[in-house]
Amino acid sequence: MLSFLVPGTGQFVNGQRWKGILFVGLDLVCIVLKNTVSTLPIILLYLVVLIDVVIVGVQMIRGKRKVPSGRSYIIEIVIAFVIAAVVTWVVDDLTKQSLSLPIGKNEGLSTEEKEKVKKEAEAYLKNKYGKEFYVDQIEYIWQTGSYSMKGHLKNDDGYDFLVKKDDGQFIDSYFFHKLSKEGKKEIEPQIEGAFSPLMNWNTSVSVDQEVEDQFAKQSPSFQELRKQTQKYHQQIQVNVPISLTANNKTRELERAYELVSFLNQNEIRSSLEVWYYDPEIKEQGVTKIDFTQSLKYDKFLTAGLEVDDVSDIQSAEDLEQYLEIYD
């Protein structure tokens, strides 16, 4: 019975002190794993402990193993159980508390250390891009031992991006942010012209790391970059409040092709996703859908158009094979 409460204490009952200590120690490790990784280790531990208790108990009943007794034996069981129960409760509680602390907690980050990280980050950005930047909102992420902060291009409030320091190395998202912003501005008129009504849309431009390293200091515009390399990709996602059916799919595919045609004419390597939602969704107060949280609105989804490479599309009819209408 004690083994159900704290794994290892049943072994004390069976007179197996060192095995009991071992299982209690493993229980502490499994508690941490349960709260951070998986419950499987602690489940397996319970099975092993219970099987061991049963086997030893049967051996005692059959007279193959001595049955422990005496006052000191009873006292040892009580003390062992109390200590094991308290320790496991404390470890479980402390683990849960540590996980509940918000990422970015600045505990232990002194003003001097923050200023040091700030100078290092600004020097890193200037060296990489040849421009003047400043960083703020510096946070120490104690769970990973890294630093996170916001970067800004001086004299330009439109460029806010993430900067991180991990294992002594800096990384940043300025190049990604800059290209994505320029890519969005370029296709915005086409998006708004092709899709009406429109809920919301998003686009991002990613490049290979070697491309970022090569062009960082030159800081070309997205249009200029496309003339010098094909190692980039623009992802476009669109949400529209239109219930797409077999009756109106031709018209909607023609609208989507307007955007595809523009992308191909300008030789923009890109993918396209268009999600068609029942207009009733707006009556529920939903005016935009976060693309990372779209599963919550599946019941309103009527169709999806997914094209991995728009250069494969030469007509509106070509889009039909990439369209799925949901019943």
The pLDDT of residue 32 is: 85
Q: Do 151 and 181 share a structural domain? A: no
Q: What is the pLDDT of residues 59-69, one digit of tens each?
A: 878 877 777 77
Q: Do 275 and 230 share a structural domain? A: yes
Percent of the chain residues past pLDDT 70, beyond the cut: 94
Taking residues 130-147, what's their average pLDDT? 88
Residue 41 exposed, middle or buried by CB count within 10 Å (0-12, 13-18, 19+): middle
Q: Is there a contact between 319 and 313 (Cβ–Cβ < 8 Å)?
A: yes
Q: Do 317 and 181 share a structural domain? A: yes
Q: Which two tokens stand for residue 154?
A: 């001086």
Q: Do 285 and 217 share a structural domain? A: yes
> Quick one: pLDDT band at residue 322, thresholds 50, 70, 90?
very high
Helices and strands (DSSP H and E) totals, the chain: 11, 9
* d(C-alpha 43, C-alpha 54), whole Å: 17
Query: Domain total for the chain?
Result: 3
> Quick one: pLDDT band at residue 8, thresholds 50, 70, 90?
confident
The pLDDT of residue 187 is: 98
The pLDDT of residue 228 is: 95
Q: Which two tokens stand for residue 261?
A: 């045609």
Taking residues 172-191, what's their average pLDDT? 96
Q: Which two tokens stand for residue 11?
A: 């072994």
Residue 106 lies in a domain: no
Q: Do 225 and 242 share a structural domain? A: yes
95-104: list long-range contacts, CB under 8 Å, 24+ apart: 95/31, 95/32, 95/35, 95/36, 96/35, 99/35, 99/36, 101/142, 103/141, 103/143, 104/139, 104/140, 104/141, 104/148
**DSSP annotation string for 53-119:** HHHHHHHHHTTSSPPP-SHHHHHHHHHHHHHHHHHHHHHHHHHHHHHHSPTT--TT--HHHHHHHHH
Q: In what order do the strands lie in the sheet with 232-240?
A: 200-207, 232-240, 270-277, 301-307, 323-325
Q: Which two tokens stand for residue 174?
A: 């300025």
Q: Do 168 and 203 share a structural domain? A: no
Q: Is there a contact between 135 and 152 (Cβ–Cβ < 8 Å)?
A: yes
- Decide if pLDDT at 222 tops 60: yes
- Decide if pLDDT at 315 tops 90: yes
Strand-pairing partners, residue 149, are 163
The pLDDT of residue 287 is: 93
Residue 54 lies in a domain: yes
Q: Do 320 and 250 share a structural domain? A: yes
The pLDDT of residue 84 is: 77
* d(C-alpha 296, C-alpha 171), whole Å: 33
* d(C-alpha 34, C-alpha 43), whole Å: 9
* d(C-alpha 164, C-alpha 160), whole Å: 13
Q: Do 69 and 41 share a structural domain? A: yes
The pLDDT of residue 28 is: 84
Q: What is the CATH number of the domain that holds 269?
A: 3.10.310
Q: Which two tokens stand for residue 122?
A: 């600004």
The pLDDT of residue 102 is: 52
> Quick one: pLDDT band at residue 269, thresholds 50, 70, 90?
very high
Residue where a domain stops, chosen among 172, 194, 213 = 172
Q: Do 265 and 195 share a structural domain? A: yes
- Decide if pLDDT at 313 tops 70: yes
Residue 235's domain spans which residues? 176-325
Q: Do 202 and 150 share a structural domain? A: no
* d(C-alpha 181, C-alpha 183), whole Å: 5
Of the candidates 187, 186, 238, 183, which has an alpha carbon nearest to the alpha carbon of residue 205? 183
Residue 90 lies in a domain: yes
Taking residues 31-44, what's their average pLDDT? 82
Phi first, then psi, for residue 138 (nearest 5°) are -75, 125
Q: What is the pLDDT of residues 74-126, one digit of tens each?
A: 888 788 778 877 888 888 888 777 665 554 455 557 889 899 999 999 999 99
State the virtual CA torsion across 186, 190, 196, 201 in degrees, nearest 10. Answer: -30
CB atoms within 10 A of CB 29: 13
- Decide if pLDDT at 30 tops 70: yes
Q: What is the DSSP letter of 196?
A: S
Percent of the chain residues past pLDDT 90, beyond the cut: 58
Lowest mean pLDDT segment, chosen from 4-18, 105-119, 245-259: 4-18
Residue 21 lies in a domain: yes
Q: Which two tokens stand for residue 307?
A: 């094209």
Mean pLDDT of the chain: 88
